[in-house]
Structure 1
């Protein structure tokens, strides 16, 4: 065993953030939540923005709490969702708060962008599935709406890069977060000169690129003084939260494994040596993003527990409070779902009366309409499991690989019924864990950057440090409805 060191993983999601402490003793890792805070966007004049100053304040409070409670801290790293970014001016200040990816300014410019660079070309060049939320659509729209940005902006920083800059004063473009942008060449891993040329985006706005696991600087002295903390290294880790989550997976048979990062939304995918850019992968809606170590994540963003969470909110409004665990227990009281929905149908993509929408879908598709709460919950869980199964079968088809094992990570794995239904629907073994995948992966990459772990040792280290649960499929695989 070596010296104990303490590191901070700042894991910022689209609805909340948390500061996690990792304690590494040379043999195992312990994780502790230090500070949790809401992440609520702000609407101004019909546009939606992230409250960046409040978020940075909350991060600093977490750093200060960790130092007071645990003493000397070695480093920190921030991971977030993809696609969003902020502008820095020539004086080093933010021009304005970053837009939220659900802001609607891109709608006015989508057709013009796609006339210059078609969706199929975007996929071929960048490996990213085209979407209006992608950085390329957002940035093109910003420059169309305000061409003075080309002169007033000095640098564009993706969200985790922006927070690293606020902590350290150093501008850098970490590769896993930029791989979500629709601006990176899928083959070279560099920003795509062809995309920039076609769309008239100046490449000088982008800082130098670094790989996941790069020490980029230290916390600014003025922040140390403000928080009464000691010096800490700032590390550009696997800055995209899914890249961090995947870095935590202790594969047993990596060549045969898929992963499901499961929460409000689910990311279903697998690691591949190179991007998978084919007509089938485009047609099936897959995207390619970078991993820690520069391998590729082939994945599809699918609905996760969103519909269940909406049901929970709807029933709470009607005066019936049901926890997630109570909903699962209700679902266990019946043996099978009376119907199956497509959880990725647009009908379920926005907030609203989910019970009515589920009934509407079942009537439209000629299926039995669920009425009891237990039936409705069971419909959702079995439908999610079958959706995962379809995606995994599609991955087998486009990669030519046989997938025999599924690693499920993230908060959604606390729903043990969903894990078992996934094993049953797919006919594959499911290994669930770790729950705190993004935070753990964030710490693992920091340890590698500090020379405490070899990159190849991370998976084994996670397996030693945390517990996992295995789910075996039923003897008969469920039919795909």
Structure 2
């Protein structure tokens, strides 16, 4: 048996973050949560920001705790959501708190940006679906509102790149996270010269580009001293959390497989050799982003367990709490949902009164209104499964590939009923697992970067290390 290798994955989501320990013995890898912390946006002067220095403090706390409990650590990598960023100046200091993607400053500049670069052209240039939250919209708005940034800012660092910089002092632009923002040429993978020219954006803001799995260097000495730890390698892994999740999928036949990364949001897609940039993929709402290893992830972002989470919260606040396991048991008492909703309808996009909104949607679409808890929960779960099924059919249409297997990963797969309903709706076999997909994929990329794991054997490692469940279509 090989010497035990211990490493850390910092998996940062839009509402919370975790410092996760991976212990790899050459055959299996175990994953343990060391420190969980809240990620609460801050509203100030009419804008919404990420509290990145507080998050950095929490990450350091988790590193210190991991070292105290488990000893020597080999490496660290951070994965996060996409599109957001911060600026550093020529002295290497953070210029200001990074904006949250839900900040509304882009609204005032949208019309002008889309005059200069219409949405369909954006898609053809970058492969990304145009969206107000995309980095390109945010950056254009920032430079219009704060033209002094052109002189003051030295580099733009996407969120995980910013944390890697704070840990290592090395500014780099990792490919999977940069591929989310609408700034890269879909064919070359380089910054789109046409886009930057058309919008008068400075190319000089982009740091040196690196591939997923690049060792940036050793953690800064002052941080080592502060935390009382030895040297740790800082790795730019698959820095976008979906790219990390996909890196954990134990494919048996990738060419006939799709994936569903299932959580608050659901990312439904498949890996392709090249971006799929057609009128059909644009009209269906697919986007193209990069995977570790250079493949393309063609996917659509769907509302996921947000609907169930909001319903859970609503009942708890009304003094009628129902656990998630009880919600599944209630849904199983019904053979089918009384109605089917579109989870991506704008009606469901904001918090609050979710059961009333479901009723409103059903009345609008002339369907029976679910009145009991069981009926409401079953409506949500059946509707998610139907939305997944539609997207799988669309994927087959735009790629010309037959999908035989769907890999479901992430926390949502703990809802076994949803997995079975998805198998039923799609008529495909579902392979569910791993649950800790982003953290595990983050660790796999680190191990490969350090020469501890052959990337071609990653699927075998996941299969040995995690419990996988298979669901076949029924009925």
Q: Same fold (TM over 0.5)?
A: yes
Residue 400 in structure 1 maps to residue 400 in structure 2: yes
Partner of 2:100: 100
2:116 aligns with 116
Q: Are 1:300 and 2:300 matched, yes or no?
A: yes
CA drift of 1:34 comes to 0.5
CA-to-partner distance for each residue in 1:318-359, whole Å, 9 max, x for gaps? Answer: 111111111111111111101111011000011121111111
The alpha-carbon deviation at position 180 of structure 1 amounts to: 0.2
Matched residue, 1:462: 462
Q: Determine the structure 1 residue equivalent to 2:51.
A: 51
- Report the equivalent of 1:391: 391
Q: Which residue of 1 aligns with 2:257?
A: 257
| Secondary structure at the counterpart of residue 109 of structure 1 | helix
Query: TM (normalized to structure 2)?
Result: 0.99
Cα distance between partner residues in 1 of 2:35 and 2:329: 30
Give me the whole-angstrom Cα distance separating, in 1, the residues matched to 2:453 and 2:129. 34
CA drift of 1:275 comes to 0.4
Tell me which residue corresponds to 1:151. Answer: 151
Deviations 1:216-268 (A, max 9, x none): 11100000000001100000000000000000000112111000000000000
Name the CA distance, whole Å, in 2 between partners of 1:208 and 1:289. Answer: 19
Aligned equivalents of 2:172, 2:450: Cα separation in 1: 18
Alignment: residue pair count = 475
Aligned to 1:183: 183
Tell which deviates more after alignment, 232-241 or 352-361.
352-361
Which residue does 1:478 correspond to in 2?
none
**Counterparts of residues 399-418 of structure 1 (less than 5 Å):** 399-418=399-418
- Counterpart residue number, 2:274: 274
What is the match of residue 231 of structure 1?
231
1:275 and 1:466 map into 2 onto residues whose CA distance is 31
Q: Quick one: distance in 1 between partners of 2:436 and 2:279?
A: 35
Q: Which residue of 2 aligns with 1:381?
A: 381
Q: Give 1:3 shift.
A: 1.4
Q: List gaps (5 residues or longer) in structure 2.
A: none
SS in 1 for 2:187: coil
Partners of 1:454 and 1:181 in 2: how far apart? Answer: 30
SS at match of 2:258: strand
Q: 1:366 corresponds to which residue?
A: 366
2:84 maps to which residue? 84
| 1:140 matches 2:140 | yes
SS in structure 2 of the partner of residue 298 of structure 1: strand
Alpha-carbon distance, 1:91 to partner: 1.1
Q: 1:450 maps to which residue? A: 450
Greater shift after overlay, 309-318 or 290-299? 309-318
- RMSD, aligned α-carbons: 0.6
Aligned-residue offset at 1:460: 1.6
Question: What secondary structure does 1:288 align onto?
Answer: strand
Counterpart-to-counterpart distance in 1, 2:406 and 2:110 = 37
> Using the alignment, how far apart are the partners of 2:334 and 2:60 within structure 1?
48
Residue 457 of structure 1, CA deviation: 1.5
Once residues 362 and 205 of structure 2 are traced to their aligned partners in structure 1, the CA distance between those partners, rounded to angstroms, is 50
TM-score with structure 1 setting the length: 0.98
Q: CA deviation at 1:369?
A: 1.0
Pairwise CA distance, 1:118: 0.6
User: How far is the alpha carbon of 1:90 from its aligned partner?
Assistant: 1.1
Note if 1:2 corresponds to 2:2.
yes
Query: What does the per-residue CA deviation read over 1:58-97, in whole Å, with 9 as the maximum and x for residues that have no partner?
Result: 0000100000001000000000000000000111111111
Structure 1: how far apart are the matches of 2:447 and 2:273? Answer: 23
Q: Distance in 2 between matches of 1:356 and 1:32?
A: 39
Residue in structure 2 matched with residue 437 of structure 1 by the alignment: 437
Q: Indicate yes or no: 2:337 matched with 1:340.
A: no
CA distance in 1, matches of 2:82, 2:322: 32
Q: Which residue of 2 aligns with 1:479?
A: none
Deviations along 1:358-413, one digit per CA (max 9) or x if unpaired, are 11111111111110010000000000000000000000000000001100000000
CA distance in 2, matches of 1:458, 1:139: 37
**Which runs of no fewer than 5 residues in structure 1 stay unpaired?**
476-481
Q: Deviations over 1:305-330 (max 9, x none)?
A: 00111111111111111111111111
Partner of 1:238, secondary structure, is coil
